[in-house]
Structure 1
Amino acid sequence: MSREIVLDTETTGFDPKTGDRLIEVGCIELMDLLPTGRTYHTLVHPERLIPPDSTRVHGITDEKVKDAPKFAAIVADLVAFIGDAPIIAHNAQFDRNFIDAEFRLCGHPVLEADRWIDSLQLAQKKFPGMPNSLDALCKRFKVSLADRTFHGALIDARLLAEVYLELRGGKERRLDLSAARVTAAVGPVIAAAVGARPRPLSPRSTEAERAAHLEFLKANLKDHSLWEGYGLDMEKAPAA
């Protein structure tokens, strides 16, 4: 089974190089592209004030994070949850920059670059020249945004998990997974249904009816090969 982690973050701004910090992280576990129900979520104390412009986007205030743990206190739990799985993020470079910066600040090795999968790049290949923000993709794939008032790391990760499924095959993929589960459960029954019948059904016609039918075929059909394939040997059929 293929395990992946969908990750989203909220931050104090756009660039960790200018002092911006991570203030929220949310993760969703996927198994074969479907959420398992396991999540990881926490607010993070940024050790600086949150600008009003950022709060207008995600609704997170200084008051909300005043008692939140600092990143160094949660890094072990975050790494344990992610494990060795690939990480899916929308515009992944943004999230990766902040995660890497926080890892370095607390002296933790950064996650390998090749583990990051950018769903924005997947969308741009699938829909070139079209709006491919997370909101735009939710609308395109009819993923409901009704529960979201502000951007939030966990809710956006949940939305992205649905979008990612669609980008990787959508309903067709979901049906494939369902079929696989059904086959695993009732495979022998299906195999028996489509394979060779272990015991032929008893004929329902009488010998006289079968003889009359063969005489009709011999008298009216020039090409007997089709019927021979169904077990009717015309050479042995009674003469008309």
Structure 2
Amino acid sequence: MRQVVLDTETTGMDPKEGHRLIEIGCVELISRKFTGNNYHVYINPEREIDIEATQVHGFTWEDLKDKPLFIEVADAFVSYIEGSELLIHNAPFDLGFLDAELGWINQQLGQQRYGKIADYCKVFDTLAYARRRHPGQRNSLDALCKRYEVDNSGRTLHGALLDSEILADVYLTMTGGQTTLLLGGESDELSGDHQGLLASTRRVDSQRPALKVLQATAEEQTEHYAKLERIKKKSGGSCMWLDMENPSGESNDVAPHSG
């Protein structure tokens, strides 16, 4: 499965007010592993950048006047994401800008050259997913980094590629995967922007003793399922753990256990 973690930076908050993209950063995952085949581009927005936006990402129009226009990179970008599943934190924001940029190209050319992003790939909103997992809690990227112990110490200013790399780590951890862990015998031949990840990698000793596995007692299982039921009630009738084990949606009056 090919997934592309995507983030953008912009001149302001709303493309309907004429705001434009200034940066796109993408990180490729195949079968939940970093490939190093990333996509990153700065874009000339052809307009000034709101001071509030500059305070977030640090760029002014003067910094970007020598960069390509979006129309010059659109083909390469669409080819890169096509057929993938896009992972985006607060997807409506980024998709709004990307769809607007593609729409403006259609207007300039006087023809329907591009469709919307959803015509080229699936979209998974990590913010919506995090809100379902952690109802009533803060689910910004920084908050998720703290919750899942993902290092975001390099994030003094927002940057599309850096934020995509961080979001990839958060997504893999949040959905039950490992990110910077290499087991003995695995290749650590990585290329491009992913080389920096190796510096923080901890290699597990393949000769270490086997980990001791403790089975939950019947009492612990009962307490566990009682808590899941409370989560389900507080989140409006949805609990992913219960849904996976009990697709019919019926309440777990008695915790399942073996033996």
Q: Check whether TM > 0.5.
A: yes
**Residues 210-221 of structure 1: matches in 2 within 5 Å?**
none
Deviation at 1:56, TM superposition (A): 0.4
d(CA) in 1 for partners of 2:50, 2:180:
42
Instruction: Give secondary structure in 1 for the equivalent of 2:45.
Output: coil
State the match for 1:17 in structure 2. 16
d(CA) in 2 for partners of 1:130, 1:141:
13
d(CA) in 1 for partners of 2:165, 2:20:
22
Q: CA-to-partner distance for each residue in 1:184-229, whole Å, 9 max, x for gaps?
A: xxxxxxxxxxxxxxxxxxxxxxxxxxxxxxxxxxxxxxxxxxxxxx
d(CA) in 2 for partners of 1:4, 1:178:
22
d(CA) in 1 for partners of 2:180, 2:24:
28
Q: Is the 8 A contact 1:8 1:95 kept in 2?
A: yes
Instruction: Give secondary structure in 2 for the equivalent of 1:47.
Output: coil
Q: CA-to-partner distance for each residue in 1:3-22, whole Å, 9 max, x for gaps?
A: 10000000011110111111
d(CA) in 2 for partners of 1:174, 1:125:
26
d(CA) in 1 for partners of 2:53, 2:154:
20
Please tell me whether residue 29 in structure 1 is matched to residue 45 in structure 2: no
Please tell me whether residue 117 in structure 1 is matched to residue 124 in structure 2: yes
Percent identity between the two aligned chains:
46
What is the letter of the counterpart of residue 6 of structure 2?
L
Instruction: Give secondary structure in 2 for the equivalent of 1:48.
Output: coil
Q: Is the 8 A contact 1:4 1:30 kept in 2?
A: yes
State the match for 2:96 in structure 1. 97
Which of residues 160, 169, 189 is equivalent to 1:153? Answer: 160
Could you say what the CA RMSD is over the residues aligned between the two structures, in angstroms? 2.2
Deviation at 1:111, TM superposition (A): 1.9
5+ residue gaps in structure 1?
182-240
Larger radius of gyration: 1
State the match for 1:48 in structure 2. 47
5+ residue gaps in structure 2?
107-113, 187-259
TM-score (norm 2): 0.65
Instruction: Give secondary structure in 1 for the equivalent of 2:55.
Output: helix
Please tell me whether residue 126 in structure 1 is matched to residue 133 in structure 2: yes
Q: Is the 8 A contact 1:122 1:167 kept in 2?
A: no
Q: Is 79-88 or 109-118 further displaced after alignment?
A: 109-118
Deviation at 1:117, TM superposition (A): 0.6
Deviation at 1:44, TM superposition (A): 0.6
Deviation at 1:23, TM superposition (A): 0.7
Greater helix proportion? 1
Deviation at 1:83, TM superposition (A): 2.2
Deviation at 1:142, TM superposition (A): 1.0
Q: Is the 8 A contact 2:6 2:86 kept in 1?
A: yes
